[in-house]
Structure 1
Amino acid sequence: MDEIDIGGLRIAFERKGEGVPLVLLHGGLSDSRMWRRQLDELSDEFTVVAWDAPGCGSSADPPETFRLPDFADCLAAFIEEIGLVKPHILGLSFGAGLALEFYHRYPTIPRSLILASAYAGWSGSLPPDMVEQRLQQGIQQSELPPERVVEMWVPTLFVKSVSAEVIEKTAVIMSEFHPVGMRTMLLSFAEADLRDMLPTIKVPTLLLHGEADQRSPLNVVENLHAKIQTSRLVIIPAVGHEISLEAPEAFNAEVRSFLLANP
């Protein structure tokens, strides 16, 4: 992986391929390794870049005061520093919320948005009691041994029929979470309410969602689709929250088709 300094933070990333740029934004308790299949399979036609967000993977921990606008500002500086021009922005879960905040702050940069397993922030998509429950539970989990956190999270991410290989790879990534990074992302997403900016989105937007997503139920993405006039919604049958890992063939096919239709 490559590393650069952005605002005093070490940011690690992987870059592969040549062509129109595609930036991949991972979810919480994850890092760029979750995008292995996308890096390998989409880089035949695109420049694919996957970062480790601040507080994740090989990147440095941000201050615990970091919030979603700070992640977006860091992402903008990162994109400029590595020389990407008008990239497509693809985010999953927390990464999708970050993509929305990024568009809100820097609407002239993205060529398009691909929002997978998305929320308009937790406060923008979930009932207040659920937001508080997730936040408090997550803060407590950030102090637990990694294996306990993996045991609690993995069953909520996939359908029961997912392969053991996918679970094992996910468990390895999740077990290396940063406690500071986890708390910062949880607080950022719990506070985030991006509903008001959704109608302002003017770029082509693809919404990808798993039919059996436990963490972001279908009504969440249906609300996003209703408010983003430029959006197209694709429901992938019989998969859960981590659709890029659980159904990479279908996921990559939808992403490629969308990118080629919006050059």
Structure 2
Amino acid sequence: METVRVDGIDIAYRHSGAGTPIVLLHGAFGDSGDWASDLATLSTDHEVVAWDAPGCGGSSDVPADWSDRDWSAALAGFITELGLDRPVVCGLSLGSVLTLLLARDHPGVPRALVLAGAYAGWVGSLSAAELDRRVAAVEATIDLPPEDWADAFLESVYPPDAPADRVASARAALLAWRPATTRALLSSLVLLDLRPALPHIEVPTLVVRGEADQRSPWRAALAIARAIPDARFVELRGLGHDCAGPEFDALVRDFVARLQATA
């Protein structure tokens, strides 16, 4: 793990490889370790960086008064501090929201986007009833030890036949989760609706969904792909909300190769 300081916040990250830069953004209750196998695969011919988002893993806590624009500024600053020239930014779940925020607020930073298990914000992707249920469920975790709710959450993210090592890594990150980060996410992002920003995204975008995803609705993912002018939607059979892994990595490599061929 390495660390870089961005506007007074220490951001930890994993870094490997050389070539076209790819930035990997993990989901809620996770950290960069969620991408360990993908980083190893993709870095054979690309420069790959996976961050611990502020408030996660080895990074500093999130300031209590952060807004959605502070999240995007931190991500843009992180990319700038590392000297990454127009990377492909790949976000999973919460990471997909941060990726869209980056494209909205700092459109010159990413070369392309990959959105996995995607949301246009919870307001922009969930029904009112489901939004209320999700918020209540997350609020209920704040004062409980992660051991009490970790397994139930992971069952909604991974199908029963998911690789055991991937689930174990996710569980380890979840057990180290900070309640203050949950509070910061709820206050800054829970009412976010990014649908108005989607038609203005001008970079190539790949939207990926696991066929067995229990968290990001199929209609929401498809709507994101349809709203972004240069977007393609791919569904991976048998995979869940965390649809990363060999099939996903192959998709990303093909996507980047197409970008290079048309440059």
Whether TM-score is above 0.5 comes out as yes
Give the corresponding residue for 2:43: 43
Instruction: For 2:64 and 2:156, locate their aligned partners in 1 and report how far apart those are by CA, in whole Å.
Output: 26
Shift of 1:190: 1.4
Does 1:96 find its partner at 2:96?
Answer: yes
Give the corresponding residue for 1:21: 21
Give the corresponding residue for 1:85: 85
Give the corresponding residue for 1:250: 247
- Cα distance change of structure 1 residues 188 and 132 upon mapping to structure 2, 3 Å threshold: farther
Shift of 1:129: 2.6
Give the corresponding residue for 2:2: 2
Report 1:134-213 matches (<5 A).
134-213=134-213
Shift of 1:208: 0.7
SS at match of 2:124: helix
Cα deviation 1:29-81 (Å, max 9, x = unaligned) = 00000010121011111110111111000001112222322111001111111
Cα deviation 1:191-229 (Å, max 9, x = unaligned) = 110000111111110011011110002111111111112
Moved more, 161-170 or 198-207: 161-170
Does 1:57 find its partner at 2:57?
Answer: yes
Q: Do the aligned residues in 2 keep the contact of 1:67 with 1:185 (CA within 8 Å)?
A: no
TM-score computed with the length of structure 2 as normaliser: 0.95
Cα deviation 1:71-97 (Å, max 9, x = unaligned) = 110011111111111111000001001
Shift of 1:4: 1.7
Q: Do the aligned residues in 1 keep the contact of 2:126 with 2:217 (CA within 8 Å)?
A: no
Give the corresponding residue for 1:33: 33
Letter in 2 for 1:117: G
Instruction: For 1:89 and 1:226, locate their aligned partners in 2 and report how far apart those are by CA, in whole Å.
Output: 19
Letter in 2 for 1:46: H
Q: Do the aligned residues in 2 keep the contact of 1:27 with 1:92 (CA within 8 Å)?
A: yes
Does 1:68 find its partner at 2:68?
Answer: yes
Shift of 1:131: 1.6
Q: Do the aligned residues in 1 keep the contact of 2:125 with 2:217 (CA within 8 Å)?
A: no
SS at match of 1:131: helix
TM-score computed with the length of structure 1 as normaliser: 0.95
Q: Do the aligned residues in 2 keep the contact of 1:138 with 1:183 (CA within 8 Å)?
A: no
Q: Do the aligned residues in 2 keep the contact of 1:149 with 1:175 (CA within 8 Å)?
A: no
Does 1:119 find its partner at 2:136?
Answer: no
What percentage of aligned pairs have identical amino acids?
Answer: 38
- Cα distance change of structure 1 residues 164 and 140 upon mapping to structure 2, 3 Å threshold: same
Give the corresponding residue for 2:232: 232
Q: Do the aligned residues in 1 keep the contact of 2:33 with 2:169 (CA within 8 Å)?
A: no
Shift of 1:159: 1.3
RMSD: 1.2
Shift of 1:136: 2.4
SS at match of 1:262: helix
Letter in 1 for 2:198: L
Cα deviation 1:220-244 (Å, max 9, x = unaligned) = 1111111112001110011110111
For structure 1, the 5+ residue unaligned runs are: none
Q: Do the aligned residues in 1 keep the contact of 2:89 with 2:110 (CA within 8 Å)?
A: yes
Shift of 1:187: 3.4
Give the paired residue count: 260
SS at match of 1:19: coil
